[in-house]
Structure 1
Amino acid sequence: MGFKLKSSKNDPMSEINVTPFVDVMLVLLIIFMVTAPLLTVGVQVDLPETSADTLPEENEPLTLTINSKGEIFIQETKVEFNNLIVKILAVSNNRTDTRIYVRGDKAINYGRVLEIMGMLSGSGFTKVALISEPNKER
């Protein structure tokens, strides 16, 4: 004696129909794809030309470079070791929160680089970073 399992039309449906959901999501995706480029396009303006110098960025970091001969440069200007802190303070307008990137040639003794970084930190500069090249073999 076996029971027959029949599904009747009155039984609750056990599956969720996701087709309407997918349809709505695709329509929303198309709407966003069409409107997204319009958000980045600004008003078209033909700016005038000027002979004035550009304003320096306040957030632009200073680059301190030490070449293979041990010569020190602030940006592209050569500086003597004894005048380094005075020149850095002058260039940074006495702002010790200026970012300073230290670039040292790999042929130089890095004790010299660390000595200069220590001088900068000792003078109150808090944002001193050592710059290196990424490994090209990866």
Structure 2
Amino acid sequence: MGMNISEGGDNTELNSTINTTPLVDVMLVLLIVFLIAVPVVLKTVPVQLPNVSNIPTQSKPENIVIAVDAAGETYWNNVPVTKEDLLANLRAKAPIKPQPEVHIRGDLNSRYEPVGRVVAYCQKAGIVRVGFITSPEHH
């Protein structure tokens, strides 16, 4: 048993001061954690965002209008087309100089998949200019 009891009256006073060493250690650890964590949380890609503007679409006869209705049916200039015909038509129009623009008119209630398929087919065919036609907001 190794307990040391002092019999003298010199060391009987209690030390009533607060030991701040553990508190300082904890604060330094938290400071280091936050210095490392904050840049990771605030990490963003520096990009310059465009200003919003609505430019009216200039309808040209060579532009291609592809519509997708609420049921997911696809139309090439108001004529119903299958997926295969759509891709074949886009591949036929891609080599034309200047290349025609493709305007996609997607119904508000249509699913994303048919509209996304039209965009994917435009990419496969090599169409460079693809735009989405929307209704202007009423204020």
* TM-score normalised by structure 1 residue count: 0.50
Pairing 1:120–2:98 present: no
Deviation by residue 1:76-97 (Cα, 9 ceiling, x = unmatched): 111011221112344x374272
Q: Distance in 2 between matches of 1:94 and 1:77?
A: 22
Does residue 110 of structure 1 match 2:95? no
Moved over 6 A (4+): none
8 Å CA contact 2:91, 2:125 repeated in 1: no
Superposition map of 1:1-138 within 5 A: 60-90=62-92, 92=93, 94-95=95-96, 97-136=99-138, 138=139
User: Helix, strand or coil: the match of 2:86?
Assistant: helix
For the pair shown, the structure with the greater C-alpha radius of gyration is 2
Equivalent in the alignment of 1:29? none
How far apart are the structure 2 equivalents of 1:119 and 1:93?
11
* Residue deviations 1:24-49 (CA, integer Å, cap 9, x gap): xxxxxxxxxxxxxxxxxxxxxxxxxx
Aligned alpha-carbon RMSD (Å): 2.4
Contact 1:68 1:106 in 2 (8 A): yes
Any conservation in 1 of the 2:63–2:100 contact (CA below 8 Å)? yes
Q: CA deviation at 1:131?
A: 1.0
Inter-partner Cα distance in structure 1 for 2:133 and 2:60:
20
Q: How many residues are paired up?
A: 80
Q: Distance in 2 between matches of 1:132 and 1:78?
A: 20
2:5 corresponds in structure 1 to none
- State the identity as a percent: 19
Deviations 1:11-36 (A, max 9, x none): xxxxxxxxxxxxxxxxxxxxxxxxxx
Separation in 2 of the partners of 1:83 and 1:60? Answer: 18
Distance in structure 2 (CA, Å) of the matches to 1:113 and 1:58: 22
Moved more, 112-121 or 98-107: 112-121
